[in-house]
A and B are shown apart, each in its own frame.
Chain A
Amino acid sequence: MRLTIEVNGAARAVDASPWKRLLDVLRDDLRLTGTKEGCGEGECGACTVLLDGEPVNSCLVAAAQCDGRRVTTVEGLARGELLHAVQRQLIACGGAQCGICTPGIAVCAAHLVDRGLVRGLDGPAAGGGEAAARAQVRELLAGNICRCTGYQLIVDAVIAAAREVAAGAPEVAR
């Protein structure tokens, strides 16, 4: 089956079985190996990409489902050498260790930050404040497993990135 998928802003044509996993289309056909396979059954989230702007486990999505749609992978987060706020904060806070889960987490966290889904950071502490925002980040990223970090410094990174984006730092506006 001939598919047309917009990957990281560019239209890509692929000949693939309709049943081929999106993960394999990305890794094998398009050689975008930033998206990782950790379990192949939708548990670990290492293969997270955005499909029409929503996070999905690309190991559970068939190629045929992607025809004519938009896919964003970790390779599409940075603009040239300018990293996304989430990527920069993952480095700054120590949120990446072995790094195999990092692309999936970066994609999912960038989605949360860009969509303004991490709320309460500007509100009064009585409204929950940072503790509530941290709990929310944990809930929203619960589909991405990391075995190295204990998650602590990843949560720090996502909160820091959310603050940056909310403050409208110009270099990260998108």
Chain B
Amino acid sequence: MPPVGRSLPRVDGVAKVTGRAQYLDDLDAAGAWHGATVRSAVAHGVLEAIEIDPALGSELGAEICVVTAADIPGKNVIALIEDDQPALVPIGGRVMHCDEPIALVAAPTRAQAFAAARRVRPRIRPLPAVFDVDAALAGAQRLYGDAGDNVFKRFVIRKGHAGDDELEAVFARAAQVIDGRYATSPQEQMYIEPQAMMAAWRDGRCHIVGSMQCPYYVHKAMKPLLGVGGDGVVIAQSVTGGGFGGKEEYPSMLAAHAALLARKAGRAVKMVYDRDEDIAATTKRHPCWIRHRLAVDARGELAAIDIDVVMDGGAYLTLSPVVLSRGVLHAAGPYRCPVVRVRGRVVATNHPPHGAFRGFGAPQTTFAYERQIQKLARARGEDPLALRKRLALRTGDTTATGQRLEASVGTDEVFAALEAVAGAAPVRTGVNRHGAPVRRGRGVCFYFHGAGFTGSGEQRLAARATVAATAHGFEVRSSSAEIGQGSITIFTQIAAAALGVDPALIAVIDPTTSRVPDSGPTVASRTAMVVGGVVDRAARAVRDRLEAWAAGRGMAGALAELARAYVAEAGGELAETVTYEPPAGVAWDDATYTGSAYPVYGWATCLVDVEIDLDTCEVAVLRCVQAVDVGKAINPAIVRGQIDGGTLQALGWALLENVVYRDGKVANANMTNCIVPTFADAPELETILVEVPYPFGPGGAKGVGEIPMDGPAAAVANAVEDALGVACDELPISPEAIAASRPRWSAPMEVLR
């Protein structure tokens, strides 16, 4: 059987089920000290001094190493998009958020390090803090830039109109206008392995190993900070216990801290965050506020869409511009419309920086547009699924940025797949197993997700990967990180198929920066599609060269035998490194935000049935069906697992997850109060894989990691609205929110579908 399209057991499966897989905290680190972080207790202020208890070491009965910004050998920044975030706030510098790193300590044991951190006290002169995006926009405090509005980044997308007057004229002529305001909550990634990193200096080089998604992001950030060249720092990934975006940018901070401590202590230093610290200090999904207007003509077609997106970026720029970009590019939804305006702003506040989380801005804007489409269906008395089908983008249509959709548009297929299993809506009223009265409802939605980096991002990244024929088989070298999503298994299958060999002959090596080329970060639904495509081409090139070499010598045989013969004769491996080439016709204009925003999109439909306990106001998800066009499932079990996992994160975001800030500090920084769905909360997930191949993806595959995060929250809100007759326009749809809406519930018999 060909290795692509088959559910090969994951290659790291045995190590993981037996407990042999070595995560950072499992590595033998004999002699390593432990690091801990001294953090700010205030959200905004000036760091006047750092008071260190003079009896620090003697009290704890241990040697203690303390690091402050003064110990940084290079530039005090965590380099990413802008150099605005320091590794440690310097004396005289501004503290921008609660739990911002001020100083570091290392000690022989973890308990000693944490005890020592409590004895180092930053003295901070407080300044008024800004937590509200409107206040930040009004310039209540200057947190970022010179414009006075604290805007990190703004975008405007225009389609089919030259200026605002023209847009407003369409709204003035409209037969119907749907105008809504939406708010979505911050969300914690809650990978089960907390952030963890270890650093040691050997032979003049800094060696860093840890839990991360993007070894080369860390590599890039360490060079200026440590004042070293590319050879001066080596980044290795340990087995990583989940990321979901939470280990995209933050590991650079942790790596900086471990490296600085190791440098000063003169020994290896390991840092493993406590859960509370991880929740309090690391990045979350951006909270978002959206105003969304739909203009509909007399025939019921969309005449114009106007959207205004505001995100809270938190205290530093981090990845916020890119998150906003993806948010606005998805904001108009997968619907046909001649006139579109999308405006977006991401604003600085004194919250801890918000950052990458699966979906990356799209779940927020998807929630808004799918609520709007639902309201349109209700207003028109049209079946919600039929209306979506009628307005959906198909091959040949153009998106909000004017991109003409050419290939792999699975619209009809994902609708058909959903309709085939939808069945009857649940009985509207009844009694649950506790004897409480219930209401039931059904919600549907339709959405898309651009795969790969936005715009010309993939051209700029120019991902590279290597395939090498060695004496022992074939090696795949890339910087893509296995974080549970199955990339090493997928790459094994892709390489095996391209080489025509048994998958057992393929080894995907760990992404250590000194051993692998830069394939770009492990983000953006790009690993299988973009890097997998490069692996495919590199493997084919190796096969062609080996076969040509053998033919020149009149040799024949299995490819692995030819490889052995080659290595024996040449005295070394045969390796091919290939660079990503974008498909023809992908053109993007960053200045006007028009063109091909993404090389291809995934398409999905979702159906959710809910049951609401009218006494407790809890929402139970009875059914969750999701049909996703994945191009081609290289490993159906792994793809299914990705979609199931993303779906439950979306259901959690819809109903029970939340990060609560009080005066800029996370008030629920523990797993007891910052809850995520358990086995008992999760419904049976009815995931359907739909395959409409993408001609430029390996075997037809396209991105799949993020799309399941986008839609289910809106489907839940639509289902609750169906059950109660109350619009749910804010997340989470908590029991408290539902209880507060009780006076507005419809009478049971009045509920409209």
Q: Which residues of A contact B (CB under 8 A)?
A: 27, 31-41, 43-44, 46, 73-75, 77-78, 83, 87-88, 90-94, 96-103, 106, 134, 137-139, 141-155
Contacts and interface: CB of A to CB of B under 8 A. Distances in A.
B240 interface: yes
Contacts of B191: 98, 100, 147
A41 B670 contact: yes
B244 A147 contact: yes
B638 A100 contact: no
B424 interface: no
Nearest to B482: A98
Contact of B192 (A31, A93, A98, A154): A98
B644 A149 contact: yes
What 8 A-B pairs come out closest when comparing CB atoms?
Answer: A34-B19, A98-B484, A100-B241, A99-B16, A150-B644, A94-B637, A150-B648, A97-B484
Contacts of B645: 97, 147-150
A103 B19 contact: yes
A142 B679 contact: yes
Contacts of B15: 99
Interface in B622-667: 637-638, 640-641, 644-649
A149 B191 CA distance: 12
7 contacts: A83-B18, A91-B9, A97-B485, A98-B242, A99-B17, A147-B190, A152-B644
A143 B671 CA distance: 12
A123 to B, nearest CB: 19
B672 interface: yes
Given A90-B13, A153-B641, A78 B18 contact: yes
A27 B25 CA distance: 10
Contacts of A36: 23, 192-193, 241
A102 B17 contact: yes
B483 A39 contact: no
Contacts of B434: none
B682 A138 contact: yes
A92 B9 contact: yes
Given A98-B484, A100-B193, A144-B679, A39 B670 contact: yes
Contacts of A155: 679
Given A90-B17, A96-B10, A99-B484, A151 B682 contact: yes
Given A98-B243, A147-B190, A151-B648, 13 more contacts: A74-B19, A90-B17, A94-B7, A94-B637, A97-B641, A99-B15, A106-B17, A134-B684, A142-B678, A147-B191, A148-B641, A152-B682, A154-B679
Contacts of B194: 38
Interface residues of B, number: 57
B19 A148 contact: no
Given A33-B19, A37-B25, A44-B192, A147 B682 contact: no
A138 B19 contact: no
B680 A139 contact: yes
Contacts of B25: 27, 33, 37
Contacts, number: 169
B682 A94 contact: no
Interface in B1-33: 7, 9-10, 12-23, 25-26, 28
Given A40-B274, A94-B641, A145 B678 contact: yes
Contacts of A151: 644, 648, 679, 682
B239 interface: yes
B687 interface: yes
B679 A98 contact: no
Contact of B193 (A43, A98, A137): A98
B149 to A, nearest CB: 36
Nearest to A155: B679
Contacts of A35: 19
Contacts of B644: 149-153
A63 to B, nearest CB: 15
B753 interface: no
Given A87-B18, A97-B485, A39 B671 contact: yes
A40 B276 CA distance: 9
Nearest to A34: B19
B676 interface: yes
B641 A147 contact: no
B17 A97 contact: no
Interface centre among B20, B243, B647 (most CB of A within 10 A): B20
Contacts of B483: 98
B186 to A, nearest CB: 16
Given A137-B679, A147-B244, A149-B645, A96 B192 contact: no
A93 B275 CA distance: 30
A95 B413 CA distance: 28
Contacts of B648: 150-151
Contacts of A78: 18
B641 A149 contact: yes
B685 interface: yes
A151 B676 CA distance: 12
A46 B191 CA distance: 12
B210 interface: no
A58 to B, nearest CB: 13
Interface in B207-252: 239-244
B86 interface: no
A135 B684 CA distance: 9
Contacts of B484: 97-99, 148
A66 to B, nearest CB: 19
Interface centre among A40, A73, A94, A153 (most CB of B within 10 A): A94
Contact of B21 (A87, A91, A99): A99
Contacts of B679: 137-139, 141-142, 144, 146, 151, 154-155
B14 A83 contact: yes
Interface string B676-719: 10111010110100000000000000000000000000000000
Nearest to A76: B19
A148 B13 contact: no
Nearest to A91: B13
A117 to B, nearest CB: 14
Contacts of A75: 18-19
Nearest to B22: A33
B45 interface: no
A150 B241 contact: no
B410 interface: no
B193 A96 contact: no
A35 B274 CA distance: 16
A33 to B, nearest CB: 4
Interface string B723-749: 000000000000000000000000000
A158 to B, nearest CB: 10
Contacts of B313: none
A106 B641 CA distance: 17
A152 B642 CA distance: 11
A148 B242 contact: yes
B450 interface: no
A162 B304 CA distance: 56
B113 to A, nearest CB: 15
A152 B240 CA distance: 21
Contact of B647 (A34, A37, A44, A150): A150
Contacts of A97: 242, 484-486, 641, 645
A152 B639 CA distance: 13
A32 B18 CA distance: 11
A93 B192 CA distance: 21
Given A83-B14, A142-B680, A147-B645, A94 B640 contact: yes
A27 B24 CA distance: 13
A142 B677 CA distance: 9
B676 A96 contact: no
Contacts of A141: 679
A101 B21 CA distance: 12
A73 to B, nearest CB: 7
Nearest to A139: B680
Contacts of A100: 23, 191-193, 241-242
B692 to A, nearest CB: 23
B193 A38 contact: yes
A3 B195 CA distance: 32
